[in-house]
């Protein structure tokens, strides 16, 4: 029986330190508090730049990207909601003055 040298496990880079935070902000921005969406978007962009610049030393790109995309969607919904409120206020002011 010959013994084969054991091969080391494949290298798995450590996730970016803010990976989980960005994902949670993206989820909360979408389902609970839309104001968190822009933070997830901004932090996600920064983290993706840092991951790309790390030359493979930082991982978590997929998770950061999901949080960033959720942040983008939450930000768009926040903007649509704010525009709707502005239109309602303007219609209310116009109809009160007529």
Query: How many helices, marked H, and strands, marked E, lie in the chain?
Result: 3, 2
DSSP letter at 98 equals -
Nearest to 18, CA basis, from 71, 75, 77, 55: 71
CA distance readout (Å), 68 to 34, 48, 78? 13, 9, 15
| Triad 75, 47, 19: Cα angle to 5° | 85
Beta bridge partners of 58: 14
Q: For residue 29, give both structure tokens.
A: 């921005």
pLDDT of residue 25: 98
18-75 per-position pLDDT tens digit: 999 999 999 999 999 999 999 999 999 999 999 999 999 999 999 999 999 999 999 9
Whether the Cβ atoms of residue 50 and residue 59 lie closer than 8 Å to each other: no
pLDDT of residue 78: 97
């Amino acid at each position: 029986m010959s013994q084969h040298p054991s091969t080391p496990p494949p290298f798995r880079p450590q996730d970016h330190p803010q990976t989980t935070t960005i994902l949670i902000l993206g989820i909360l921005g979408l389902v609970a508090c839309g104001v968190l969406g822009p933070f997830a978007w901004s932090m996600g962009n920064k983290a993706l730049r840092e991951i790309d610049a790390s030359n493979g030393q930082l991982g978590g790109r997929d998770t950061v990207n999901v949080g960033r995309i959720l942040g983008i969607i939450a930000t768009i919904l926040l903007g649509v909601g704010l525009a709707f409120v502005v239109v309602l206020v303007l219609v209310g002011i116009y109809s009160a003055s007529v």
